[in-house]
Amino acid sequence: MKKILAVTACPTGVAHTYMAAESLIKAAKDKDIPLKVETRGAVGVENELSDQEIAEAHAIIVAADTDVLESRFAGKPVVRVPVAQAIKNPAGLLDEALSKEAAAPSGDYAKRVEQSKAERSAARSGPYKHLMTGVSHMLPLVVAGGLLIAISFMFGIEAFKVEGTFAAALMNIGGSSAFALMVPVLAGFISFSIAEKPGLAPGLIGGMLASTIGAGFLGGILAGFLAGYTTQLLKKYIKLPRNLEGLKPILLIPLIASAVTGLLMIYVIGEPVKAIMDGLTNWLTALGTTNAILLGLLLGAMMAFDMGGPVNKAAYTFSVGLLASNVFGPMAAVMAAGMTPPLGLWLATLIAKNKFTKEERDAGKAASVLGISFITEGAIPFAAGDPFRVIPSIVVGSAITGALSMAFGATLRAPHGGIFVLPIPNAVSHLALYALAIVIGTVVTAVLLSLLKKPLEQNKASL
Active-site positions? 10
Residues with Cβ within 8 Å of 188's Cβ and at least 6 positions away in sequence, in order, are: 134, 137, 200, 201, 203, 204, 207, 224
Residues with Cβ within 8 Å of 65's Cβ and at least 6 positions away in sequence, in order, are: 9, 10, 11, 16, 82, 83, 128, 129, 132
Rg (CA), the chain: 24
Contact at 8 Å (CB) between 168 and 162?
yes
Count of CB atoms within 10 A of residue 69's CB?
A: 12
Question: Which strand (E) or helix (H) includes residue 4?
Answer: strand 4-9
> What is the amino acid identity at position 388?
F
- CB crowding 85-109: b at 16 or more within 10 Å, else e: bbbeebeebbeebeebeebbeeeee
Q: How far is CA 59 from CA 73, 102, 236, in A?
A: 9, 7, 29
Contact at 8 Å (CB) between 373 and 335?
no
> What is the amino acid identity at position 401?
T
Contact at 8 Å (CB) between 422 and 398?
no
Count of CB atoms within 10 A of residue 391's CB?
A: 18
- The alpha carbon torsion through 243, 244, 246, 248 (nearest 10 deg) reads -150
Query: In three state form, how does the secondary structure of 88-119 look?
Result: HCHHHHHHHHHHCCCCCCHHHHHHHHHHHHHH
The crossing angle, in degrees rounded to 10, of helices 216-237 and 253-264 is 140
Extract long-range pairs of 281-284: CB within 8 Å, 24+ residues apart: 281/216, 281/322, 281/325, 281/326, 281/327, 284/322, 284/327, 284/329, 284/330
Residues with Cβ within 8 Å of 101's Cβ and at least 6 positions away in sequence, in order, are: 77
β-strand pairing of 78-81 with 4-9: unpaired
Question: ∠ at Cα 414 (179, 44), nearest 5°?
Answer: 75
β-strand pairing of 44-46 with 78-81: unpaired
β-strand pairing of 35-41 with 44-46: antiparallel
